[in-house]
């Protein structure tokens, strides 16, 4: 018996010495790819998230900008990275558009969702002397198609798609409210205040200064629920009985097939990041919407966003 016991202990010792101890992820620095240029909104959020995520993971996170192709180059590099957790990325709204527009086959299924950390819902804005509410605006548009023009961005931009989706959900052709392409929100607001157009679609922070000055009124926000930052602005469904919402978004993801334990470690860390005072103060100062979703909820969000943007793109006649 003693000999047998000694042999068992000896074998166990040899096995222990020959079996490597699995190190806890991460063991080395992580690369965070940003598909957009340095200095922009996505880059700013990425660098803030990276610095706070470093504190949770205990390893450096290097932010790398991979620009070009309207975000396609960076998104492709994230999707094609080795699924080991050492190359992650910030994925953005454009991922909900590419395959519908025919610019890239990429979609949300090419990634492992980790965490959603930002959404910015589109809103409907008019002059002070415009329609009193969204229901009246839609009624006027239906009564006299083409009489009310709208803008907020170029054709195919989020404001345009949001308006097209709203009209489609309201059982109206998208040209009922003709879209006037502009190079961003500033010229669109100039057209609004000069009476050249009647409606501007954009996020609320973009027009808040003019709302505060009494030059613009926000009729509704395209969210499923009211935005806690703007509690007095009704949702589209509340304002007009139309079930339509659409938001720009940003989140952290890895390539498809990221190991479950790695994905969980990252998702748990991101849950702590979004609660940090530094993150909240940064997002508030830059007027970015703070919406967090863990990996599972982010996956559902991505599927829903893909469907809604697809509906809007097809309604606008831009689908390929």
Asked if the model's pLDDT at residue 13 lies above 50, the reply is: no
Average pLDDT over every residue of 222-235: 94
Of the candidate ranges 6-10, 111-115, 237-241, 307-311, the one whose mean pLDDT is the lowest: 6-10
Asked if the model's pLDDT at residue 233 lies above 60, the reply is: yes
Contact between 113 and 298 under an 8 Å Cβ cutoff? The reply is: yes
Asked if the model's pLDDT at residue 151 lies above 60, the reply is: yes
Which backbone phi and psi does 281 adopt, to 5 degrees?
Answer: -70, -40
Contact between 287 and 71 under an 8 Å Cβ cutoff? The reply is: no
pTM, two decimals, is 0.87
Asked if the model's pLDDT at residue 5 lies above 60, the reply is: no
Distance CA 169, CA 231 (A): 24
| pLDDT recorded at residue 2 | 47
Instruction: State how far Cα 180 lies from the chain centre.
Output: 25
| pLDDT recorded at residue 22 | 46
pLDDT digits (tens, 9 = 90+) for 169-228: 999 999 999 999 998 899 999 999 999 999 999 999 999 999 999 999 999 999 999 998
Asked if the model's pLDDT at residue 20 lies above 70, the reply is: no
pLDDT digits (tens, 9 = 90+) for 58-105: 999 999 999 999 999 999 999 999 999 999 999 999 999 999 999 999
Structural domains of the chain, with CATH: 31-119+249-315 (3.40.190.150), 121-240 (3.40.190.10)
What is the length of the chain? 320
pLDDT digits (tens, 9 = 90+) for 280-299: 999 999 989 999 999 999 99
Neighbour-count burial for 183-197, b at 16+ CB within 10 Å, e otherwise? eebeebbebbeeeeb
| pLDDT recorded at residue 184 | 86
Identify the bridge partners of residue 122 per DSSP, sorted by sequence position. 203
Asked if the model's pLDDT at residue 8 lies above 70, the reply is: no
| pLDDT recorded at residue 6 | 53
Element (H, E) at 255: strand 247-255
Q: Where are the beta strands (DSSP E) in the chain?
A: 30-34, 61-65, 87-92, 111-126, 150-151, 199-203, 217-221, 247-255
Asked if the model's pLDDT at residue 238 lies above 60, the reply is: yes
| pLDDT recorded at residue 23 | 72
């Amino acid at each position: 018996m003693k000999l047998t016991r000694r042999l068992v202990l000896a074998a166990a010792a040899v096995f222990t010495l020959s079996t490597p101890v699995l190190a806890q992820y991460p063991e080395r620095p992580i690369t965070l790819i940003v598909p957009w240029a340095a200095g922009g909104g996505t880059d700013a959020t990425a660098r803030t998230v990276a610095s706070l995520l470093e504190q949770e993971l205990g390893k450096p996170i290097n932010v790398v900008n991979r620009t070009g192709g309207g975000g396609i180059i960076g998104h492709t590099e994230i999707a094609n990275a080795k699924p080991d957790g050492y190359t992650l990325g910030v994925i953005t709204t454009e991922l909900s558009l590419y395959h519908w527009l025919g610019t890239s086959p990429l979609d949300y299924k090419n990634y492992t969702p980790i965490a959603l950390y930002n959404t910015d819902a589109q809103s409907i804005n008019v002059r002070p002397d415009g329609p009193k509410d969204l229901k009246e605006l839609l009624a006027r548009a239906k009564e006299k198609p083409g009489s009310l023009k709208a803008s907020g961005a170029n054709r195919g931009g989020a404001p345009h798609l949001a308006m097209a989706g709203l009209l489609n959900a309201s059982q109206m052709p998208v040209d009922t409210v003709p879209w006037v392409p502009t190079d961003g929100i500033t010229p669109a607001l100039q057209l609004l205040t000069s009476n050249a157009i009647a409606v501007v679609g954009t996020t609320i922070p973009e027009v808040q200064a003019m709302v505060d000055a009494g030059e613009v009124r926000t009729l509704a926000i395209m969210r499923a629920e009211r935005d806690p930052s703007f509690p007095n602005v009704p949702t589209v469904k509340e304002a007009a009985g139309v079930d339509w919402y659409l938001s720009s978004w940003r989140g952290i993801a890895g390539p498809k097939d990221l190991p479950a334990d790695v994905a969980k470690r990252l998702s748990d860390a991101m849950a702590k990041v979004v609660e940090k005072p530094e993150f909240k103060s940064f997002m508030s100062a830059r007027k970015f919407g703070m919406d967090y979703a863990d990996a599972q909820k982010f996956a559902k969000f991505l599927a829903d966003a893909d469907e809604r943007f697809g509906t809007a793109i097809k309604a606008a006649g831009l689908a390929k």
